[in-house]
Structure 1
Amino acid sequence: MNLDKLSPDEISGLLGRKKTEGNPMPANSLLPTEREALMELLAVSLGGSSKVLSELLGKGIAISPPVLAVKQREDLLSAGDSPFFVVLGEYTGDVSGIQILSIQKEDVQRLVQSIQPGSDAEDMEKQFQVLQQVVEGMFTSVSKSMAMVLEQDVAYSLSGMDVVDKQQDFPIAKFTSEEWFLEAAFHVKVDNSKPASFELGIPVGLAKQMAGVLIEEPDYAEETQTMEFQTNNQTTTEPKKNESPNIQSVQFSSFDDTSSVQGEPNNLNMLLDIPLQVTVELGRTKRMVKEILNVSHGSIIELDKLAGEPVDILINNKVIAVGEVVVIDENFGVRVTDILSTADRISKLR
């Protein structure tokens, strides 16, 4: 790569540095680190939702990793053919914003045939019913995964759904004033059927908000001030031209006695003895104070997880894996079914 042909702004963008206040980042741009973090976040969230959909629908569901692109509002629904379904959703909580999802009508018909064999794929009511079931199951799970990874309160709700014959019939400007969107294109495959194409659009501002939680960028302004301070100090300590330099003999340390260095314990061995708290979480729920006071012997508290859904395995209150509950002799145990290694990579960016 020839850096001489790159502008200072392009070099700063490649390094993931912040723009100065006098030259802010364009609203339609994402830093490489932001794009990478969002790719990992969506891949983890969508991948985790495939298991929830499989249990919900009783079918084998596979979701492909997303392909990201930044598009203007007018170009957001232009990739597919008409007619198509548009599903509006909303994220609320610490991370909030609109979500626009589109899927071709023929793909919805294929989903109906795959999920409910023998049913009439041309039945519009059936198409709405199946698509609503798929979208709500998928993105309710996605929001939970985002909340876990971002360590923020995130909830998803489906706002509306409609069939659009032409792109011009659905003016996005009536629903949001956002000009630029991050589009994530992915495929949903049911058993051995042909994959259905989904196009997910979220505002670039919302995408940056999510990426900002994951990425802790260095304060380059503070770093520059520190360097300037050091330079000024060096300038004040330079000898004057008319003064004679103070020359002293160099004192070298002796390397003959190495016993103290060899006797130091290995840092890794020290870390291996640190105890960690391992917790298996079956589920959670929220109740009013009056409901808690009414709890008595024999009361049943319903949790937010479905029966048979994988349980979370936490290390020091951080989810690192999921598994299934087993019985070992007379004790409960958990068999690890999936290690969230991708989530670990995301956490390292923080």
Structure 2
Amino acid sequence: MNFDKLSPGELDGLLGQKGTEEKPMSANHLLQIEKEAFSELLAVSLSSAAGSLGEMLKREVSVSAPVLEVKPRDAVLAAAAAPFFVILGEYKGEVEGIQLLAVSKADVEALVKIWDATSEPDDMEKQFEMLQKLVETMFAPITKTMGMLMEKEVAYSLSGMDIVQSQEDFPIAKFTKEQWFAEAVFKVRLGAGAAAEFSLCLPVQLVKEIAGVLTGAPEEDYAEETRDMEYQSNNQTASEPKKNTAPTIQSVQFSNFDETATSQTEPNNLDMLMDIPLQVTVELGRTKRMVKEILGVSPGSIIELDKLAGEPVDILINNKVIAVGEVVVIDENFGVRVTDILSTADRLSKLR
């Protein structure tokens, strides 16, 4: 009878473990806390960029909360409707990584028409010009926020852009060796009119690095949790009943999905982003005038607004009203005294 020694791999197999590989899931997996941290950073940064985009497009702009999903390289931008534009960018400095941004040609044509009413649908030069300005305007605050929170020098540069007629025309493997990406889909809306959907892709490792700083815990701190998830997954697989085994039927107990849990977790995510700058605007009033009236304006002309004298002024954060107040004078500067403001939960929802 032979009693051969078991190899380390066989021992690990018997114990339901996966060997000595370091964090095998880290390259293709984001923990929930990492997803929440990066999504919150992206949502607040894009909301901060909405004001600059509004000035560029001469419309009120809002950005939806991004939906984040981890995908293998071959599946990146698979949902993009061809033809679409692909914008290649890079983060440089103490944080380095590639970035892909995609938007359909139809959406770009709609944005260009708003940006320049004289443009034609086949004016590719105008479309590339607008995309370049839009990307630079959109990612300037994101880069600034990343650098500030991570206390590192971060710079974003646009490497190039092209139009893709079909998915087969975009061999992403030629641009990067990264195997796994985090793809965030969000929409840029112009008032109640046009909306453009963007797909933003970053390598998973870059997202992990950013999320680790936001949460105050480096990636190594997640190693134990990741191994626990793997261990539970392996044990579940090993303990699955065989095909001939009768299934065990149990009654289901549903959790109580009330609003208490949400209200408790919101401030924790917000604490990570307390130092992000937001644009505060006080609006005295608005009005509409015909083109001939605007052309007739000269020094000394008076433009009547839609608010009465003494009526409260609107206080806007990133072009969204969150409070009203009255105008005051502080030394030699104007100021505003808040008289009514939305609740904390409502203000948080306005920032998304």
Q: TM-score band, normalised by the shorter chain?
A: 0.5 to 0.7
Match status 1:216 vs 2:221: no
Report matched runs for 1:111-190 at 5 Å: 111-190=111-190
Q: Which residue of 1 aligns with 2:46?
A: 46
Between the aligned partners of 2:335 and 2:208, the Cα distance in structure 1 is: 37
CA RMSD after TM alignment: 3.3
SS in 1 for 2:47: helix
Change (3 A) 1:21 1:192: same
Q: Give the Cα–Cα distance (whole angstroms) in 2 for the partners of residues 162 and 320 of structure 1.
A: 33
User: Alpha-carbon deviation of 1:157?
Assistant: 1.0
Cα distance change on mapping 1:60 and 1:105 into 2, 3 Å: same
Q: Give ranges in structure 2 of 5+ residues lacking alignment.
A: 1-17, 225-273, 283-326
* In 1, Cα distance between equivalents of 2:86 and 2:221: 42
Kept in 2: contact 1:150–1:210 (CA 8 A): yes
Check conservation: 1:44, 1:145, Cα contact below 8 A.
Answer: no
TM-score by length of 2: 0.58
CA pair 324-47 structure 1, distance change in 2 beyond 3 A: closer
CA contact (8 A) 1:67 1:186 kept: yes
Aligned AA for 2:124? Answer: M
- Alignment correspondent of 1:323: 280
| CA deviations over 1:277-317 (Å, ceiling 9, x no partner) | xxxxxxxxxxxxxxxxxxxxxxxxxxxxxxxxxxxxxxxx9
Deviations 1:202-232 (A, max 9, x none): 00011011011112349879x9xxxxxxxxx
Structure 1 runs (4+) deviating above 6 angstroms are 218-221, 336-339
Unmatched segments (≥5 aa) in structure 1: 1-18, 224-316, 346-350
Q: Is the 8 A contact 1:323 1:334 kept in 2?
A: no
Conservation of the 8 A alpha-carbon contact between 2:183 and 2:199: yes
Matched, 1:332 2:336: no
Aligned pair count reads 230
Q: Are 1:321 and 1:336, in contact at CA under 8 Å, matched by a contact in 2?
A: no
Instruction: Quote the offset at 1:327 in angstroms.
Output: 7.9
- Using the TM superposition, give the Cα deviation of residue 24 of structure 1 relative to its aligned residue in structure 2, in angstroms: 1.2
Q: Equivalents in 1 of 2:275, 2:201: separation in Å? A: 29
Decide which structure has the larger Cα Rg and report it: 1
Using a 3 Å threshold, how does the CA distance of structure 1 residues 216 and 83 change in structure 2: closer, same or farther?
same
Q: What do residues 104-139 of structure 1 show as CA deviations (whole Å, max 9, x unaligned)?
A: 111111111122224213211111111111111111
Paired with 1:318 and 1:83, the residues of 2 have a C-alpha distance of 39
